């Protein structure tokens, strides 16, 4: 039964442990299945040899039984011929083949029992390998999903833990706020300056017109006070 020990170890190994230790779970599982099938092939060869040995023993059992029967037939011939001494020798030879037949019979029964167990174990192992083959794609899909989730989590953790980057964003936000405030202040000042200049111009214009009017009125009053030369 030792021929199945390595294959049983491969099949019964913890798949989660394999995935956690493997650099590439897909590659590891494929290699595992390759090794399983290679060992299955070797196991089939060993079982085939055991079956061949069992068949050989079975033929030897039949052969020893046939030889025993043949010497019994010869003993009968000797008795019929009145040759008891020759009959005794034939019966002794028959006994030798009977003993050999009994020994081969025990070996054949033991070998057949072992072969039946080997066949059952081989069938069980083959079923497990077929089950592993069916599960392979599912395990690979799960492994890839876990890897993707891990990468996402690592990225989130990396960004969340990078306080320098967030501080830089905050600093830039404050700077932009300051720039916007300065731009608004400059625009407000420009508008104020423009409005003041315009008001001054109109005030000067108004002042200029009032002075001329007053001067004109004064001139007219002065002219009225002058003697009429007509």
| Distance in angstroms (rounded) separating the CA atoms of residues 85 and 68 | 18
- Tell me what pLDDT residue 142 has: 83
What are the residues whose beta carbons fall under 8 Å from the beta carbon of 13, sequence distance 6 or more? 32
| Distance in angstroms (rounded) separating the CA atoms of residues 136 and 145 | 14
CB 129 within 8 A of CB 11: yes
How high is the mean pLDDT of the chain? 81
- Tell me what pLDDT residue 192 has: 65
**One digit per residue, pLDDT tens: the chain, 230 residues?**
455 555 555 555 545 555 455 567 778 888 888 898 898 999 999 999 999 999 999 999 999 999 999 999 999 999 999 999 999 999 999 999 999 999 999 999 999 999 999 999 999 999 998 888 888 888 888 878 888 888 888 877 766 655 666 677 778 888 888 888 888 877 877 766 666 666 666 666 666 556 667 777 777 777 777 776 55
Task: Note the pLDDT tens digit of each residue in 73-86.
Answer: 999 999 999 999 99
Count other Cβ atoms within 10 Å, centred on residue 220: 10
| Distance in angstroms (rounded) separating the CA atoms of residues 59 and 41 | 27
Q: Minimal CA–CA distance to 64: which of 86, 43, 27, 95?
A: 95
Q: Minimal CA–CA distance to 43: which of 13, 2, 89, 104?
A: 2
């Amino acid at each position: 039964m030792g021929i199945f020990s390595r294959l049983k170890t491969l099949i019964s190994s913890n798949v989660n442990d394999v995935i956690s230790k493997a650099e590439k779970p897909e590659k590891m599982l494929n290699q595992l299945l390759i090794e399983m099938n290679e060992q299955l092939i070797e196991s089939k060869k060993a079982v085939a040899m055991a079956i061949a040995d069992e068949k050989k023993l079975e033929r030897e059992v039949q052969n020893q039984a046939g030889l025993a029967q043949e010497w019994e037939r010869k003993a009968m011939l000797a008795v019929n011929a009145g040759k008891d001494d020759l009959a005794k020798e034939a019966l002794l030879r028959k006994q030798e083949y009977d003993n050999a037949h009994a020994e081969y019979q025990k070996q054949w029964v033991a070998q057949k029992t072992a072969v039946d167990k080997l066949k059952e174990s081989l069938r069980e192992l083959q079923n497990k390998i077929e089950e592993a083959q069916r599960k392979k794609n599912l395990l690979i899909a799960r492994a890839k999903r876990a890897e993707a989730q891990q990468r996402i989590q690592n990225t989130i953790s990396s960004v969340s833990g990078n306080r320098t980057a967030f501080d830089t964003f905050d600093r830039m936000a404050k700077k932009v706020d300051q720039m916007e405030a300065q731009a608004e202040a400059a625009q407000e000042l420009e508008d104020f300056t423009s409005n003041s200049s315009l008001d001054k111009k109109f005030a000067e214009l108004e002042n200029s017109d009032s002075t001329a009017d007053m001067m004109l009125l004064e001139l007219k009053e002065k002219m009225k006070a002058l003697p009429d030369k007509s």
